[in-house]
Amino acid sequence: MVNTEQTMHACPACGLLCDDISADTIAKQQFSCGKAAKFYARSTSLNVQPQVNGQAVSLAQAVKAAAELLQQAQSPLIAGSSTDVHGARALVSLANQNGADMTHLNADSTLRNMKVLQHRGWQTTTLTEVRNRADVILMIGTDVVTHNARFFERVVWVDEAMFTEPSARQIIYLGGDKLKTQAGVSPDGRAPQMIACASEHLPEVVSALRALIMNKPVAGENIAGVPVSTLAALAETLKAAKYATLVWVSKDLHFEHAELTIENITETVVALNQKSRAMGLSLGGSDGDTSVNYAHTWLNGVIIDAPHWQDHDAVVWVNSFSPEAMPPAEVSPVIVLGAADSKFTTPPAVFIPVATPGLDTGGQQFRVDGSVTLPLTAAKPSDVPTLSKVVALIEQAIANEGKQA
Amino acid sequence: MITLLKNARVIDPAHHKDGVLEDIYIRDGRIIAKPAETEKIDQAHELNGKIVMAGAIDMHSHIGGGKVNIARMLLPEYQDMRRMQEPEAHICGANCSHHATPNTTDTGMRYIEMGYTAAFEPAILAVNARQAHMEMGDTPMIDKGGYAMLGNDDYLLRLLSQNADQKTINDYVAWTLHATQTIGIKVVNPGGISAFKFNERRQDLDQQHSHYHITPRRILQALSRAVNDLGIAKPLHVHCNNLGVAGNFQTTLDTMGASDGLPMHLTHIQFHSYGTEGDKKFSSAAANIAEAINQNKHITADVGQILFGQTVTASGDNMMQHLNAKVANPKKSVIMDIECDAGCGVVPFKYRDENYVNALQWAIGLEVFLSVDDPWRVFLTTDHPNGAPFTTYPHLIRLLMDKSFRNDAFDKLNLDAQAMSNLKALDREYTLYEIATMTRSAPAKLIGLQDRGHLGVGAAADITVYTDQPDKEAMFSKPDLVFKDGELVVKEGKVIKVVWGATHTAKPAFDLGVEKDIKQYFDRYHTMQMQHFKISNDHIAEDGRNHVINHVQGA
């Protein structure tokens, strides 16, 4: 089949992967999202040379230096891992060759969710279901838009939905800090419901909500300042909904043992689904975190690790979608296979510029809801080598070295 | 380069050969006629009468895609560390997965070691097809392919509720095959996955869908008609309504009539062969089901045998998996609604021979195998990993071929279950010819792989060599040699060379005009562009390992 329509790009700047970005939008810089604007404003075809210890070298010299460092290392770590599925495959392969552990920039927030999944599982939904079904959307400890700026534009306040009236949706914010709630105002000016409580009190409040949904008694009149009657009314609203959607963003739940609060959210959904319909929706996501964790899982059978920086004597750092990101300062040596516009305060041992998927080159990326994968297309094609290509060169150099030894 | 397999005892049901002593010649990955005397034989294998069959084809095995990967994530306790040997170590990390949730490398390696050269993912959510192909692309050694799920997607249900004509449905079905790079169409709990999203908990065959006011029977009619009209070889792959429910055999029997005599394949029929007799209101209806299969020549079925032990069930049927989640072991599960397209449910299970229901499930599957007369119409599956991991196939083959082995196993079952099964009265023992039929010739014919599953001239040289021995489990666990596309890749049950296989597809002709409405639907209701839903051949081939083999339909 041939695609005859005008090519639209999918934007990998956050987990939402909005795929309605036209060349015109990019040329005119007309974005309704700051992250997209920043992403497409990047200049990566800068003719940046590979570097060894801050000195420009040829690609072959940089590959040789990277291979030598990896061979010398007893326990290398592959980190950052800000890339797409193809990059993830390459990194898993490099990890296998060198006995390296593998982690990701967002390992903390990813693993917070994974703990819940591996303990109890969950019941979740995806963006198109929410767009067409959700009549009540409860956001817990998050405004979503800080992470996914166009969530309300693309999923909530849409023109049409198959099974509900979009403009009549009930939006409720439960807890959180410094929320931007303007996006929750309906097109006809209806304000969302706010149930205020600081993030640090969400554990008690969410667990009370779950208890109320399960028809268990909740003692007292207030939970961390939230009237129990308010929570009881919320519970009734959720039970009466045709398709209640409970949204959380793992990155926003960064207090200690936040996984227990996430589990209370997901178990609230499980309880609701005994009689009515509800689903969880975990949003946020960036830097290909879903892609890397998923590809790592099917290739290795297990999810990614948390970084244990002190256990490693060399780090391969990939920062395609976050050129400013670097590992903790005390880690060395660092081999950066990164964006051409990477920012360094101190030069890494090796720096090899690689193509950023969705900007310099194509690729494939998972959306934050996990079931949808989209092709990434080169918005500003360049001849910077892909991560897969550079990794293959390094692997080859190591293999050749191994044969000579 | 010519490879010779000398003195092969050929079992090739597609050519009615049952132990014929022959020489087989291979060139450029294909079986060729005996070459001229002047041509050089580069590699000769003296087989001395060893059994030679085509590579086996698993026509229903969950090897890739969202739910399989969720199962891996959900169950870290299924993983352990293992020291890999070359060449496997070359592509695989130190983790070895429990065979219920193998990683992609493990999947390919374990299949080829048993002499399987192809496996088909039977439940590809159209919207998730890209992921499924990525995982299958990372599965070495074997060929792959998949069946796209329709029948709970709002696009089709809208068409049916608006009384769309059959041509429109046909075009949409063909468009889906193209867009998802699949070779067949599957329907899971027709209408039921959708109904669950409207808070329905059961969907019967003739019960109207609460929103669309159409019945599952209508969905089955429309889809089986479309598959037939388009000339797609693979009959509609049907996972019936009411999976796992006591008394569901009646739904299954009624479903056989839903296609008005057009071909249909009823999958993992063991899970749909339950009666309500006895104190526990759960009984075997295998005899009724087998009799109906024997009589209805348009019906084929795979069994979905359960075998005892720990596994995980991964299904598109979130309606029924939501009920099953109550008996999850370990106690955790994932239930998802997905993109107005489908759903999924992942529930770990431990089947125990002391458990009445599990023991009877085991017996029911074997009763079906032994009571269906025609091995061309019943297929050897465990619905991997739902009934058991695919690595149990050699054990299952022995159960079918060895009556005393089977009866010894039966004697260990829950006593109440024993009392409810006639398994011991079934004397049948499958022959090697029948096993070759149900694992080679028949699946290739069913799926429409003209050049696989047999050993005729022109066939792809996917070939397995076994030493015949009384213990059939041992025999089928460890072939002497396996050739993939003419290359020797397994010796003495161990992989000696890594290859990557291909992806088989069906792309029937259709009226591209249908895309106008589909695009409008995407624009109005979806969260992605239609153009991004479609998967190109280039995407399948990305990273250089995989490629598409398309099979012309309606030939």
The CATH number assigned to the domain holding B49 equals: 2.30.40.10
Domain, as residue range, for B465: 2-53+460-495
* B394 part of contact set with chain A, CB < 8 Å: no
Domain-located, residue B555 = no
Report the SS3 class of residue A256: coil
Residue B95 confidence class, pLDDT cut points 50, 70, 90: low
Whether A404 shows a pLDDT value over 70: the answer reads no
Whether residues A370 and B340 touch (CB distance < 8 A) is answered with no
Spatial distance between the Cα atoms of B266 and B146, rounded to a whole number of angstroms:
16
Any A CB within 8 A of B96 CB: yes
Is the pLDDT confidence value at A322 over 60?
Answer: yes
Percentage of chain A modeled with pLDDT above 90: 94
Whole-number Å distance between alpha carbons of B45 and A194: 77
CA distance A221 to B168: 60
Determine the residue among B77, B532, B546, B550 to mutate to test chain A binding: the one whose Cβ has the most chain A Cβ atoms within 10 Å.
Answer: B532
Q: What is the DSSP string of B326-388?
A: GG-SSS-EEEEEETTTEEEEEEEEEE-TTSHHHHHHHHHHHHHHHH---TTSEE---TTTTSS
Residue B245: which residues within 8 A CB-CB, separation 6 or more? B202, B274, B320
Question: Would you call B539 exposed, middle or buried from its count of C-beta atoms within 10 A (0-12, 13-18, 19+)?
Answer: buried
pLDDT bucket at A43, cuts 50 / 70 / 90: confident
Q: Taking a C-beta distance cutoff of 8 angstroms, is the pair A367, A19 a contact?
A: no
Average pLDDT over residues B520-534: 97
Q: How confident is the model at residue B555 (pLDDT cuts 50, 70, 90)?
A: low
Residue with tokens 């309906």: A186
Using a CB-CB cut-off of 8 Å, the residues of chain A touching B138 are 89, 298-299
Per DSSP, A190 falls in state: P
The Cα B413–Cα A209 span in angstroms is 46
Give yes or no for B341 touching A (CB within 8 A). Answer: yes
CA atoms within 13 A on the CB side of B412: 9
SS3 A352: strand
| Residue B479 domain flag | yes
**Residue B75, domain member (yes or no):** yes
Q: What is the pLDDT of residue A38?
A: 97
Domains with residue ranges and CATH for chain A: 46-106+288-404 (3.40.50.740), 110-283 (3.40.228.10)
Determine contact: B63 vs chain A, CB below 8 A.
no
Query: Is residue B503 included in any domain, yes or no?
Result: no
Instruction: Let me know whether B240 and B332 are in one domain.
Output: yes
B509 touches A at CB < 8 Å: no
Q: How far is B138 from chain A (nearest CA, A)?
A: 7
- In this prediction, residues B536-542 reach a mean pLDDT of 88
Q: Look at A298 and B135 and tell me if their CB atoms are within 8 Å.
A: yes
Mean pLDDT of chain B: 96
Residue A46: its pLDDT value, please?
Answer: 74
Residues in A touching B336 (Cβ below 8 Å): 123-126, 279, 371
B440-466 per-position pLDDT tens digit: 999 999 999 999 999 999 999 999 999
Q: What is the mean pLDDT of residues A86-92?
A: 97
Interchain contact, A301 vs B524, CB within 8 Å: no
Dump pLDDT digits (tens) for B494-516: 999 999 999 999 999 999 999 99
For residues A205 and B88, the model is more confident at A205
Instruction: Report how far residue B194's alpha carbon sits from residue B200's, in angstroms, rounded to the nearest whole number.
Output: 9
How many of the other CB atoms lie within 10 Å of CB of A179?
22
Predicted local distance difference test score (pLDDT) of residue B270:
98
Residue B94 has what pLDDT? Answer: 65
Indicate if the pLDDT at residue B87 is higher than 90.
Answer: no
User: What is chain B's alpha carbon radius of gyration, rounded to the nearest angstrom?
Assistant: 23
Q: Which residue of B has its CA nearest to A156?
A: B527
Place B85 in a pLDDT band, splitting at 50, 70 and 90: confident
Q: Which residues of B touch A388 (CB under 8 A)?
A: 543
Q: Give me the mean pLDDT over the A154-163 stretch.
A: 98
Partner-chain residue, chosen from B74, B93, B534, that has the shortest CB–CB distance to A3: B534
Chain B contact set for A300 (CB, 8 A)? 92-93, 95, 103
**Among B492, B528, B416, which residue's Cα sits nearest to residue B112?**
B492
**Parallel, antiparallel, or unpaired: how do β-strands B487-491 and B283-284 relate?**
unpaired
Instruction: For B198-241, write each residue's pLDDT tens digit.
Output: 999 999 999 999 999 999 999 999 999 999 999 999 999 999 99
Q: Which stretch of B152-161, B173-182, B268-277, B546-555 has the lowest confidence by average pLDDT? A: B546-555
Chain A positions in Cβ-Cβ contact with residue B325 (cut-off 8 Å): 121
- In a shared domain, residues B386 and B302: yes
Residues 6+ apart with CB under 8 A from A345: A326
Residues on chain B touching A279 (C-beta within 8 angstroms): 336-337
Same domain, B60 and B47: no
Nearest-CA residue of chain A relative to B321? A123
- Using an 8 Å CB-CB cutoff, list chain B residues near A124: 334-336
Q: Do A131 and B525 touch (CB under 8 A)?
A: yes
CB A338 within 8 A of CB A51: no
A119 pLDDT more than 50:
yes
Residue B24 has pLDDT above 60, yes or no: yes
Q: Is residue B99 part of a domain?
A: yes
Can you give the CATH number for the domain in which B133 is found?
3.20.20.140
Q: Tell me if ipTM is over 0.90.
A: yes
pLDDT more than 70, % of chain A: 98
Q: Which of B518, B527, B545 to mutate to test binding with chain A, by most A CBs within 10 Å of its CB?
A: B527
B532 touches chain A (CB under 8 A): yes
Within this chain, do residues B399 and B255 fall inside the same structural domain, yes or no? yes
Q: How confident is the model at residue B544 (pLDDT cuts 50, 70, 90)?
A: confident
Tokens of A312: 């490693």
For residue A46, give every residue at least 6 positions away whose Cβ sits within 8 Å of its Cβ, in sequence order, or none. Answer: A340, A341
If asked whether residues B465 and B392 sit together in one domain, one would say no
B287 lies in the same domain as B175: yes
Chain B closest CA to A67's CA: distance in Å?
17
Asked if residue A8 lies in contact with residue A19, where contact means CB atoms within 8 angstroms, the answer is: yes
Mark whether B414 and B432 lie in a shared domain.
Answer: yes
Contact criterion met (CB < 8 Å) for B519 and A243: no
pLDDT tens digits for range B369-427: 999 999 999 999 999 999 999 999 999 999 999 999 999 999 999 999 999 999 999 99
Contact yes or no for B336 and A371 at CB 8 A:
yes
Residue B142 located in a structural domain: yes
Query: Do B133 and B213 share a domain, yes or no?
Result: yes
How close A160 gets to chain B, by Cα (Å)? 7
CA distance B202 to B320: 8
Looking at residue A403, its pLDDT comes to 63
Contact B134/A85, CB-based, under 8 Å?
yes
**B270 CA: distance to closest CA in chain A (Å):** 27
For residue B486, being part of any structural domain is answered with: yes
Q: Do residues B323 and B471 both lie within one domain?
A: no
Of A110, A104, A171, A168, the closest CA to residue A136 belongs to A171
What total of structural domains would you count in chain B?
Answer: 3
Mutate to test the interface with A, among B62, B81, B101, B337 (most CBs of A within 10 A): B337
Q: What share of chain B is helix, strand, coil (3-state, %, to 5)?
A: 35, 25, 40
With 80 as the cut, is the pLDDT of residue A2 above it?
no
Same domain, residue pair B71 and B40: no
List CB contacts (< 8 A) between A99 and chain B.
94
Q: Round to whole Å and give the CA distance between B510 and B533.
A: 18
The sign of the torsion formed by the CA atoms of B432, B436, B437, B439 equals positive
Q: How confident is the model at residue B78 (pLDDT cuts 50, 70, 90)?
A: confident
Sort out which chain A residues have CB atoms less than 8 A from B130's CB and list them. Answer: 364, 373-375
Residue with tokens 């493990």: B106
Are B39 and B72 in a shared domain?
Answer: no
Q: Shortest CB distance from A121 goes to which of B104, B106, B332?
A: B332
What is the C-alpha to C-alpha distance for residues B311 and A294, in angstroms, rounded to an integer? Answer: 21
Type of residue at A310:
Q
- Mean pLDDT, residues B230-253: 98
What is the rounded distance in angstroms from the CA atom of residue A246 to the CA atom of residue A144? 12
Residue A157: name the closest of A189, A126, A118 by CA.
Answer: A189
pLDDT tens-digit profile of A215-250? Answer: 999 999 999 999 999 999 999 999 999 999 999 999
Shared domain check, B45 and B70? no
CB pairs under 8 A between A and B: 185
Measured between CA atoms, how close is B156 to chain A, in angstroms?
A: 13
Q: Is residue B454 part of a domain?
A: no
Predicted pLDDT at B541: 87
| 3-state secondary structure at position B272 | helix
Give residue-wise pLDDT tens across range B323-369: 999 999 999 999 999 999 999 999 999 999 999 999 999 999 999 99
Whether B339 sits inside 8 A of A371 (CB atoms) is yes
pTM for the structure as a whole:
0.97
Gap between the Cα atoms of A398 and B79, Å rounded: 29
pLDDT class of A60 with cuts at 50, 70, 90: very high
